[in-house]
Amino acid sequence: EAQVTQNPRYLITVTGKKLTVTCSQNMNHEYMSWYRQDPGLGLRQIYYSMNVEVTDKGDVPEGYKVSRKEKRNFPLILESPSPNQTSLYFCASSFGLSYEQYFGPGTRLTVT
Amino acid sequence: KQEVTQIPAALSVPEGENLVLNCSFTDSAIYNLQWFRQDPGKGLTSLLLIQSSQREQTSGRLNASLDKSSGRSTLYIAASQPGDSATYLCAVRVGGFKTIFGAGTRLFVKA
């Protein structure tokens, strides 16, 4: 089944403790992206990747890192999480700019 | 800077009614526009994708139109059903692989 998977689905952590949210797609998509969704602010793009080893900042990249070492994986790294990074995170992928984006199920992160 | 607005923010209709959701964007330089549905606490499900060169796309009871010159897209839902209750989001893809989302329209269809 074609899909985008994220792990973990739920995570509660403390301020400053490094964490990684994994994202994987099995559709051989070139493009992958991370978003966060917050009440009243909607979905905002954090980082995106056009291909292996090619990444760029979205609208809200501060406090996040990404890497794309393999085509199928695009992990989101929070080196020192803070409470303002409490949010619902989504990973998405597509074949390219002209193709529809497919979204993962989301990761609900709480930073205390 | 591209901004995407969806009106209305919320909508309640009786079952069977035809309805239109609106999405407007400030910069016509887009690659495409995609409509999504999001159920509470869930991920996004793609409904329709319209390329910048297209005027409309249809899937079942859904029809999406795009008028790039005026910066508008509409999602038409025919014969609404309670199962259509969800939040509907539009997103525009702009240069540099960026995607900008609207805040969404929360739809409630009453049985």
**Residue pLDDT, tens place only, B49-72:** 999 999 999 999 999 999 999 999
- CA A52, A64, A23, A30 torsion-angle sign: negative
Q: Which two tokens stand for residue A71?
A: 């085509």
The confidence score (pLDDT) of residue A1 equals 83
Calculate the average pLDDT of chain B: 95
Q: Give residue-wise pLDDT tens across range A24-81.
A: 999 999 999 999 999 888 899 999 999 999 999 999 999 999 999 999 999 999 999 9
User: Which candidate from A42, A56, A98 shows the least CB-CB separation from B101?
Assistant: A42
Mutate to test the interface with A, among B66, B99, B106 (most CBs of A within 10 A): B99
The confidence score (pLDDT) of residue A27 equals 95
Amino acid at the residue A80? S
The confidence score (pLDDT) of residue B95 equals 78
3-state secondary structure of B95: helix
CA atoms within 13 A on the CB side of A62: 2
Determine whether B91 is exposed, middle or buried from the number of CB atoms within 10 Å of its CB (0-12, 13-18, 19+). Answer: buried
Question: Residue A2: which pLDDT band, with cuts at 50, 70 and 90?
Answer: confident
Looking up tokens 């509409």 gives: B74
Q: A44–B101: do the CB atoms touch at under 8 Å?
A: yes
Beta bridge partners of B34: B49, B91
Residue B96 has pLDDT above 80, yes or no: no
Instruction: Give the mean pLDDT of B1-8.
Output: 93
CA dist A100 to A16, A64, B15, B31, B45, Å?
36, 25, 29, 11, 11
3-state secondary structure of A90: strand
Amino acid at the residue B74? T
A54's enclosing H/E stretch is strand A54-57
